[in-house]
């Protein structure tokens, strides 16, 4: 995927300004945009980065030694002449577009550059785990493409996705082009009990379609600023599960939800971004 030039300019300008600030103007760095594949890096750097979950997507090569500059130490891992953005910072840099970078470290606010929204921000090199007995899958696991959704039933962004984008994906799922995998990512604490019920429903029935239809109903409420209650969810589950009984307090429910949340965080998602 080609880089977004305006995003590159925003990031590089902020880093250049921060380096100049750290050195009282003695060091000025101008970055040039180029594209390099992971396989084109040196073997040493590839070996170091092999265990990362999120592809670094931003780094630079420099023959001069800048390792002592605070900005460089704060933002980059240094491997010889390669400076690679720290993995834990990738989501913040690329999702928040360097927003308030200075305010976190210097107490000085840098103007936010006019950067368009970028929805594909980092390459995940370790795919999410799919356990068919634990995770609802819409479509076939033999589909050409997967989309893994980490969601919270009180999340307005999730509601917009379900109402505006999901219907298009469902059409692709019918011809095995696309599979949608539904996972938990609890941002609003009050949503946990609802997710426990939905997870228990799937574990008892293995009915991904029932889970999907329930989520559609819940998100149709959220998008209209109506928060679904646990009582409403219980009634829906009763009608969907029929005579099948299940227990929301069993340990496997907690295990599935906690595994999803841990995986999402390892992918770089944060509660702040999801809320």
For the stretch 108-142, pLDDT in tens is 444 444 444 444 445 566 778 888 889 999 998 88
**Same structural domain, 154 and 64:** no
**Same structural domain, 147 and 245:** yes
Question: What end-to-end distance do the CA atoms of the chain give, in Å?
Answer: 27
Selected residue with higher pLDDT from 22 and 250: 22
**Same structural domain, 73 and 156:** no
**Same structural domain, 85 and 34:** yes
**Same structural domain, 13 and 58:** yes
Lowest pLDDT segment from 40-49, 116-125, 159-168: 116-125
- Identify the band that residue 103 occupies on the pLDDT scale cut at 50, 70 and 90: very low
Q: Does 129 reside within a domain?
A: no
Q: Does 10 reside within a domain?
A: yes
Tell me which range, 47-56, 86-95, 221-230, 239-248, is most confidently predicted by mean pLDDT: 221-230
**Same structural domain, 53 and 155:** no
Q: Mean pLDDT score of the chain, rounded to an integer?
A: 79
Number of domains comprising the chain: 2
**Same structural domain, 150 and 243:** yes
Selected residue with higher pLDDT from 208 and 13: 208
Residue ending a domain, choose from 105, 127, 145: 105
pLDDT at 259: 93
Q: Is the pLDDT of residue 157 over 70?
A: yes
What letters, b where the CB count within 10 A reaches 16 and e where it falls short, cover 198-212?
bbbbbbbbebbebbb
Three-state secondary-structure class, residue 9: helix
Domain span holding position 74 = 5-105
**Same structural domain, 47 and 145:** no
Q: Are 59 and 40 in contact (CB under 8 A)?
A: no
- Identify the band that residue 257 occupies on the pLDDT scale cut at 50, 70 and 90: very high
- Whichever domain contains 152, its CATH number is 3.40.30.10
Selected residue with higher pLDDT from 190 and 2: 190
pLDDT at 121: 47
**Same structural domain, 143 and 266:** yes
**Same structural domain, 101 and 198:** no
Measured CA to CA, the distance from residue 226 to residue 212 in angstroms comes to: 19
Selected residue with higher pLDDT from 99 and 46: 46
- Residues 223-234 have a mean pLDDT of 88
- Identify the band that residue 99 occupies on the pLDDT scale cut at 50, 70 and 90: very low
Angle between helices 230-241 and 208-222 (to 10 degrees): 150
**Same structural domain, 20 and 148:** no
Match 């070996």 to its residue by tokens: 47
Measured CA to CA, the distance from residue 244 to residue 226 in angstroms comes to: 29
């Amino acid at each position: 995927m080609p880089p977004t030039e305006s995003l590159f300019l925003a990031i590089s300008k902020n880093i250049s300004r921060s380096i100049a600030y750290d050195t009282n103007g003695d060091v000025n760095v101008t970055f040039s945009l180029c594209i390099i594949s992971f396989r084109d890096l040196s073997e040493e750097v590839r070996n170091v980065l092999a265990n990362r979950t999120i592809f670094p997507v931003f780094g630079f090569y420099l023959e001069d030694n800048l390792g002592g500059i605070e900005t460089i130490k704060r933002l980059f891992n240094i491997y010889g002449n390669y400076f690679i953005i720290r993995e834990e910072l990738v989501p913040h840099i690329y999702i928040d577009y360097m927003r308030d970078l200075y305010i976190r470290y210097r107490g000085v606010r840098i103007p936010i550059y006019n950067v368009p929204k970028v929805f594909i921000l980092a390459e995940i090199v370790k795919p999410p785990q799919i356990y068919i007995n634990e995770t609802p899958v819409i479509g076939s696991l033999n589909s050409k493409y997967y989309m893994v959704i980490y969601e919270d039933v009180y999340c307005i962004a999730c509601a917009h996705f379900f109402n505006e984008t999901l219907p298009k994906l469902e059409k692709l799922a019918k011809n095995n082009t696309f599979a949608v995998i539904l996972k938990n990512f609890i941002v609003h604490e009050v949503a946990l009990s609802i997710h426990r019920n939905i997870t228990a429903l799937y574990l008892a029935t293995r009915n991904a379609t029932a889970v999907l239809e329930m989520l559609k109903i819940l998100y149709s409420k959220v998008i209209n600023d109506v928060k679904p209650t646990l009582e409403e969810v219980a009634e829906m589950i009763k009608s969907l599960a029929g005579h099948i009984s299940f227990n929301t307090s069993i340990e496997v429910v907690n295990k599935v939800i906690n595994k999803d949340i841990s995986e999402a965080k390892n992918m770089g998602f944060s509660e702040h971004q999801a809320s």
